[in-house]
Amino acid sequence: MISNEENRRLTDEFLTYLTLERNRSANTRDSYHEDLKSFCAFLEHELPEGQQATLLTFTQETIEAFLNYRTEKKYNPRSNHRIMSCLRTFIRFCHAQQFRNDNPMAKIHSPRQHQKLPEYLTEKEVQALLDAPNPDDPLELRDKAMLELMYASGLRVSELVGLSMNNLTMEENYLRVIGKGNKERLVPFATTTAEWLERYFKQARCAIMTDSDKVFLTASGNGMVRQTFWHRIKLYAIRSGISKSIHPHTLRHSFATHLLNHGATIFDVQIMLGHASVDTTQIYTHIANERLKEIHSRFHPRAHVRTPDGTPDEGSDSPAEATETSADNVSQASAGDNSQAPTGK
């Protein structure tokens, strides 16, 4: 008989281990909790007939059955990959606590993920988003300061809402961030951003009665949370006429992409984003490369010439047409892409 109580007890001990011994963030702990609950639900209700397993007895065959089940149900490969990562950490926990000495994950390969390029905003769209809040309204002034700081620094949304007043050095325009893995980094921000922060402190935050040291507060004096900020961003995206699907990380993706487009190195961006490995940052170079290919295809006079067998490229202009329209196209692109980085007004 499968012991649901045993699975719950082990889950609780695992979460305590993540907090006290691995120093994982609350968000990571919550994600692992949901992942382990999904796996336990499979163990308790979806195992093939005749099989039984708990968190202490599951085998490689159990994992293979779990992955097959999720594939048949068309779960997202990214979530399957994340659960495999959770289970590997759980097995390390079991080894540390001497709950089991085998490793059913040793020969399990995480599902292949399709590398999806992060969606980002153009500089013109960022400017529209930054201009959307009404700074005469105290709550929207707070939102304006949050948007400005997030785009200026590339913070994760959890880092933004978790900022305390002692994280800011306003005199020198930089902030100290405690990121993933409890790693600290220093991130600069622009003078324009500092001016919006000062205005928020003087006109909005000071009017809220609170003992909280969080930088960004709700009307009731509590620290802002991720979900609230996400809904606020969606509101401003609608107000500014942005049709893309937008979320708080979109500004972080835009920050990285625009830095690369304006000449920053991949290593500069890695440091500012707080990535442990440059491999994680590398995804943004793919975006920049796609942009370069698009520009080349649109504007290079040889991009639309005939192929070696004498036939024109399908759907392309003739060389003469491409040459005649290139000047107009460049002018329109410059206006649309807004080559100067957005600044708050």
Task: For residue 147, give the nearest of 123, 130, 169, 163 by alpha carbon.
Answer: 130
Residue 301's CB: how many other CB atoms inside 10 A? 11
Which of 33, 249, 291, 298 is catalytic? The answer is 249
Task: For residue 326, give the nearest of 338, 335, 317, 314 by alpha carbon.
Answer: 317
What is the distance of C-alpha 225 from the center of its chain? Answer: 16
To the query of whether residue 185 is one of the catalytic residues in this protein, the response is no
Which of 239, 275, 291, 298 is catalytic? The answer is 275
The backbone torsions φ and ψ at residue 155, rounded to the nearest 5 degrees and listed phi first, read: -65, 150
- Pairing mode of beta strands 184-188, 168-169: unpaired
User: How far, CA to CA in Å, does 205 sit from each of 139, 211, 236?
Assistant: 9, 12, 21
Q: Which residue matches tokens 């959770």?
A: 86
Q: Which residue matches tokens 């919550």?
A: 30
Which of 24, 70, 142, 252 is catalytic? The answer is 252
Map residue 98 onto helix, strand or coil. Answer: coil
Map residue 106 onto helix, strand or coil. Answer: coil
To the query of whether residue 252 is one of the catalytic residues in this protein, the response is yes
To the query of whether residue 249 is one of the catalytic residues in this protein, the response is yes
Packing angle between helix 226-239 and helix 138-153, nearest 10 degrees?
100
**CB contact at 8 A, 198 and 144:** no
To the query of whether residue 75 is one of the catalytic residues in this protein, the response is no
Residues 6+ positions from 29 with CB-CB distance below 8 Å:
15, 18, 19
Which of 142, 156, 205, 304 is catalytic? The answer is 156
To the query of whether residue 284 is one of the catalytic residues in this protein, the response is yes
Which of 17, 32, 200, 284 is catalytic? The answer is 284
To the query of whether residue 37 is one of the catalytic residues in this protein, the response is no
Task: For residue 2, give the nearest of 66, 54, 55, 58 by alpha carbon.
Answer: 54
Residue 115's CB: how many other CB atoms inside 10 A? 7
Distance CA 195, CA 150 (A): 14
Which of 92, 100, 180, 298 is catalytic? The answer is 180
**CB contact at 8 A, 80 and 70:** yes
The side-by-side arrangement of strands in the sheet containing 174-178 is: 168-169, 174-178, 184-188
Q: Could you tell me the maximum CA-CA distance found in the chain, to the nearest angstrom?
A: 78
Instruction: Cite the active site residues.
Output: 156, 180, 249, 252, 275, 284
